[in-house]
């Protein structure tokens, strides 16, 4: 944890653990007051939100956990331990563990999917919902079924679901593929530093961490496969309407090559109280590319 701690300490970020829902979750936090909770996706960890923790810790209790399976949090061995009910249960329990009755919830990628479902299942504990490049389950199910472009863009999910080939591919040559996907452009353009790179490598090489992250795909059985469960996220069958009844802002980098803009079409059917902010020149990694813009949009949204 040395690289992560060194990079975080200068920003006033602290670290704690919470035993919740049968898991031990590591989380980074800054500030005090109203709770705003940030959920990362694959293949990231709490550090994805370092700029948000510094910004919102000025006047809120800003918290970013390592989701189960990642970095310093518990890494259950069974794939079924990563089904959506467990992931949502972690977040609900963490909110209570932090002494809050509700929070503003922000999620990106898989963290955004968990945030969607938390808001669907437990709207009374979510004050405001912010989704960043993460598909609503019902819309993604439709896109995988009907949109050939999204089917093609999601082919990588099939490899991610295949052990141990996925782990071997992603860990090879010092996690070279992950570095290329997540870090290379930022290192070139200056919004990712060499210290950030070291922190990511430290997280990716934690024992069991790559398998933990990949188990989200395996448990959900999500991917462009005909004849599989018609529910794109296994374990949501009990959530019949998938209606989101909390104020919601969706921020979407339109140059995302994995999650296409078709995921925004018809979203208002499921999210009636919603504002969409499209960012044409941002990719899936908008949180890093345009952290100041993301912070500004979130602050404006949660302040009203």
Angle at 213 between CA 210 and CA 214, to 5 degrees: 85
Q: 81, 217, 256, 270: which is the annotated catalytic residue? A: 217
Catalytic residue among 26, 29, 40, 284: 284
The residue from 81, 90, 109, 256 that is catalytic is 109
Could you give the residue ranges of the DSSP H alpha helices within 57-183? Answer: 84-97, 110-121, 137-146, 148-153, 156-160, 165-178
Q: What is the rounded distance in angstroms from the CA atom of residue 34 to the CA atom of residue 60?
A: 5
The yes-or-no answer on residue 217 being catalytic is: yes
Q: Are 221 and 131 in contact (CB under 8 A)?
A: no
How far apart CA 102 and CA 98 sit, in angstroms, is 10
Residue in the structure block whose two tokens are 């669907």: 120
Contacts of 137 by beta carbon, 8 Å cutoff, 6+ apart: 113, 116, 117, 231, 232, 233, 236, 242
Distance CA 195, CA 198 (A): 5
| Number of C-beta neighbours around residue 241 at 10 A | 9
Radius of gyration of the chain from its Cα atoms, rounded to whole angstroms? 18
What residues contact residue 197 under an 8 Å CB cut-off, 6+ apart?
A: 179, 183, 187
Residues constituting the chain: 304
Strand, helix or coil at 192? Answer: coil
Any bridge partners for residue 18, and if so which? 25
Please confirm, yes or no, whether 40 is among the known catalytic residues: no
Closest CA to 11 of 39, 43, 65, 47: 47
Q: What share of the chain is helix, strand, coil (3-state, %, to 5)?
A: 45, 15, 35
Which residues are identified as catalytic?
Answer: 109, 217, 284
């Amino acid at each position: 944890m040395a690289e992560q701690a060194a990079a975080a300490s200068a920003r006033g970020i602290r670290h704690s653990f919470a035993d919740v829902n049968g898991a031990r979750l590591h989380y980074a936090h800054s500030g005090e007051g109203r709770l705003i909770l940030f959920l990362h996706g694959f293949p990231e960890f709490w550090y994805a939100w370092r700029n948000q923790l510094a910004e919102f810790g000025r006047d809120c209790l800003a918290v970013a956990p390592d989701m189960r399976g990642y970095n310093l949090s518990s890494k259950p061995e069974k794939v079924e331990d990563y089904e959506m009910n467990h992931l949502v249960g972690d977040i609900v329990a963490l909110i209570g563990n932090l002494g809050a009755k509700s929070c503003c919830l922000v999620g990106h990628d898989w963290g955004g999917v968990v945030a969607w479902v938390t808001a669907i299942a437990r709207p009374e504990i979510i004050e405001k919902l912010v989704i960043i490049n993460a598909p609503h389950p019902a819309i993604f199910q439709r896109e995988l079924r009907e949109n050939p472009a999204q089917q093609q863009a999601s082919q990588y999910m099939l490899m991610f679901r295949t052990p141990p080939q996925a782990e071997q591919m992603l860990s090879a040559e010092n996690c070279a593929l992950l570095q290329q996907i997540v870090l290379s452009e930022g290192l070139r353009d200056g919004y990712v530093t060499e210290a950030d790179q070291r922190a990511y490598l430290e997280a990716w090489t934690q024992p069991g961490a790559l398998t933990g992250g990949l188990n989200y795909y395996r448990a959900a059985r999500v991917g462009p496969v005909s004849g599989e469960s018609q529910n794109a996220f296994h374990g949501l069958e009990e959530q019949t309407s998938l209606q989101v009844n909390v104020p919601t802002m969706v921020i979407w980098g339109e140059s995302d090559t994995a999650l296409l803009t078709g995921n925004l079409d018809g979203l208002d059917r499921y999210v009636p109280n919603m504002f969409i902010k499209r960012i044409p020149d941002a990719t899936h990694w908008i949180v890093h590319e345009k952290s100041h813009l993301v912070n500004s949009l979130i602050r404006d949204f949660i302040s009203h």
